[in-house]
Amino acid sequence: MKTKRSEASGQVHALAGERDAIARIAAIQMISGPDVAPNLVTAGKLIAEAAAAGAQLVALPEYFPLIGATDADRLTAREADGAGPIQDFLAETAARHGLWLVGGSIPLLANDPAKLRNSCLVFDPQGRRAARYDKIHLFGFTKGEESYDEAATIERGDQVVSFETPLGRVGIGICYDLRFPELFRAMAELSNPVDLLVLPSAFTETTGRAHWELLLRARAVENQCYVLAAAQGGKHPSGRMTHGNSMVIDPWGEVVARIDKGEGVVIAELNRQKLVDTRTSLPALKHRIL
């Protein structure tokens, strides 16, 4: 896998040198349906709510523009990289509220014309795109009548992505990526660890009930960083049930904010002193051999 840094301009990198001591971060939880337009309205309303509460970085869930649609519907909704109504919505919303917006995931065109890329796009407070991450690990699961095979319609990515913000270094994974700790280890050098992991997700109720919180807390502990998990959470029009439980976890592995099911916003503080204290008292990142 390749490692990719931010796409943002030099101005954004300069801003990242002055890191905020305390910043507010928020996860949006949705129950998206199969039609893009109403989902964008819902996302816009919830982002505005987070912005009004002082959030400086907001994350949307996986497939926030549509979920539960047929494979054909998802392929039809694909956008070319850099152009399309969903990408315009993300850029305009980030600029309107003056915040960092981690755009969950959206369907983009793939190299294979029969597939799509499940892509997370990040926009800075000026509405400029700062990063793109394409989901690397594709979900496959079969239990009784419940079955998923993302590889049938999704073309996987191959680049690990992290980027700099005034809040610190941020790394991105999408949903099933959460189960692969080596992905998050690859996001930063030993001297420059990731301060925040953002995980847009649509965990199933079955796997989420068993493993969601466990895996999120493990990623926070082993990387001694904050984790911001934005999930789909409830019964979708298609009948699919997603686990929800969007949450913020601190570097000690404690859940500091959470929402169970339903649409809403979960917001918490990212405290740089907490990062420093955790990494100083238990310098596990410095003790790494491999």
**Which positions are annotated as active-site residues?**
62, 135, 175
What does the block give as tokens for 95?
């600029």
The values of phi and psi at residue 57, to 5°, are -140, 130
For the record, the structure tokens of 244 come out as 């929800």
CB atoms near residue 50 (< 10 Å)? 25
Give the C-alpha distances (Å, rounded to integers) separating 243 from 18, 36, 216, 233. 37, 21, 14, 5
Q: Which residues contact 95 (CB under 8 A, 6 or more apart)?
A: 123, 125, 126, 127
Q: CA-CA distance, 193 to 107, in Å (whole number)?
A: 29
> CA–CA separation, 188 vs 116, rounded Å?
28
Rounded Cα distance, 225 and 270, in Å: 10
Number of H helices, E strands in the chain: 8, 16
Give me the helices (H) in the chain, please.
Answer: 10-16, 36-52, 71-76, 85-97, 181-185, 205-207, 213-223, 272-281
Question: Using CA of residue 199, residue 200, residue 202, residue 205, what is the dihedral sign?
Answer: positive
Contact 197, 228 (CB under 8 A): yes
Burial (CB < 10 A; 0-12, 13-18, 19+), residue 166, is middle
